[in-house]
Amino acid sequence: MEPGVKPACVVRPAAADDIASLAYHRVAMFRDMGTLAPAHETPLEQATAAYLRDALPRGEYLAWVAEDGAAGVGVIGGAGVQLRSILPRPPEGRRDLELGPEAIVLNVYVEREWRRRGIAEALMRALLADLHARGIRRIVLHASAEGRRLYERLGFAATNEMRLMFEE
């Protein structure tokens, strides 16, 4: 986003009434990345909504939504964070131990017609400000190719994470 340009939206913390939009956005995100088979769309949306109905009230999952109040469109984007406990670990460039929790950013999504207007950045800045206020220092995410530039601009750096998936 250009310096001084304001996003065409209002960002607010998500509430229970936003769960359907957040679940829909999770499905749309995976669909847009080409990693979701059509047969998995409905089960993923239902499972996500069930998870959020439990995790949002407990504070295990925090979410924000973007709305265009002027057009009366409703939710046009969202972003979330799953808070998870971590084992104490040695610090990276600090003196005290990292005790957690760790935040993993998930489900950053903006409806296609609203992209390239600074909405994802506004969502991320609200999310990061909240995490900073909570004293959460360790924040991770998995970036799509489309989102990588935004995350790098916000200070995220590539790490040495690896993955193993067991076959069923």
CATH number of the domain within which 46 lies: 3.40.630.30
Does any domain span residue 1? no
**pLDDT higher for 139 or 94?**
139
Phi, psi of 77 (to 5 degrees): -175, 165
In a domain, 134, yes or no: yes
pLDDT digits (tens, 9 = 90+) for 10-38: 999 999 999 999 999 999 999 999 899 99
pTM score over 0.85: yes
Average pLDDT on 105-118 reads 93
Q: 56 in a domain, yes or no? A: yes
Q: What local confidence, expressed as pLDDT, does residue 5 receive?
A: 45
What is the residue range of 83's domain? 10-153
The domain total for the chain is 1
What's residue 128's pLDDT?
Answer: 97
Lowest-confidence pick of 54-58, 96-100, 151-155: 96-100
Residue 101 covered by a domain: yes
- Give the C-alpha separation, 102 to 136, whole Å: 7
The number of C-alpha atoms within 13 Å of 153 and in the hemisphere containing its C-beta is 14
- Does residue 4 surpass a pLDDT of 50? no
| Mean per-residue pLDDT of the chain | 90
Asked whether residue 98 is domain-assigned, the answer is yes
* 107 found inside a domain: yes
* Block residue for tokens 């609200």: 126
Question: Does the residue 30 lie in any domain?
Answer: yes
Check residue 68 and give its pLDDT. Answer: 86
pLDDT of residue 72: 67
136 part of a folded domain: yes
In this structure, are residues 80 and 130 in contact, taking their beta carbons and an 8 Å threshold?
Answer: no
99-111: pLDDT as tens digits = 889 999 999 999 9
